[in-house]
Amino acid sequence: MAILKIARMGHPVLAEVAQPVPDPRAPEIRRLVNDMVETMIDANGAGLAAPQVHVPLRVVVFQAPGSRSDPGLDEEERYDHTAPLTVLINPEITVLEPALEGGWEGCLSVPGLRGFVERPAHVRYRGFDLEGKLIERTARGFHARVVQHEVDHLDGRLYPSRMDDLSKLIFESEARHFA
């Protein structure tokens, strides 16, 4: 496995629409995913899309740990906000409720910044794992936010383009002023 170089905002690969993966079980896809997971963990990220590591394919990895959930939620709600380490190949998202929920997002391709982004709070996603098996889940909260953020990368979109109010695009070092 290897730590891969992460493309930063402005690199053309981040503006491209990624290509579908013909065979999720291909050895080169497994190698790519293993390297992406290692890179994501090394960079302390919650997710990573293949275009972020200069590979324009429809592959994402993400995790939504419980530590990023709202501790005030009851157990049933908290479950919807978390996800184990997940590999999604050729993902699709369906919005289940159009109501938006705002939250602060960061991105490994936009280092040092955070932005307040509103996204649908309840989605269903589907895609394939490394064995070619279908994964289908519903998600809320941080879980829904992270999967939408990563799939945006596959469509050539970074979170600042989703922001309605650029006064809420801040340096991480100043985030304490927005708590």
**61: its two tokens:** 């990895």
Task: Decide: 36 and 50 in contact? Cβ < 8 Å.
Answer: yes
- Transcribe 51-70 into DSSP letters: GGGT--BSEEEEEE-GGGS-
Nearest to 24 by CA among 126, 131, 158, 124: 131
Nearest to 145 by CA among 111, 117, 112: 117
CA distance 162 to 30: 31
Q: Is 153 helix (H, G, I), strand (E, B) or coil?
A: helix
Nearest to 152 by CA among 4, 18, 5, 6: 18
Is residue 105 part of the annotated active site? The answer reads no
**46: its two tokens:** 């919650």
Catalytic member of 28, 105, 150, 172:
150
35: left (phi over 0), alpha (psi -120 to 50) or beta: alpha
- List residues with catalytic annotation: 150
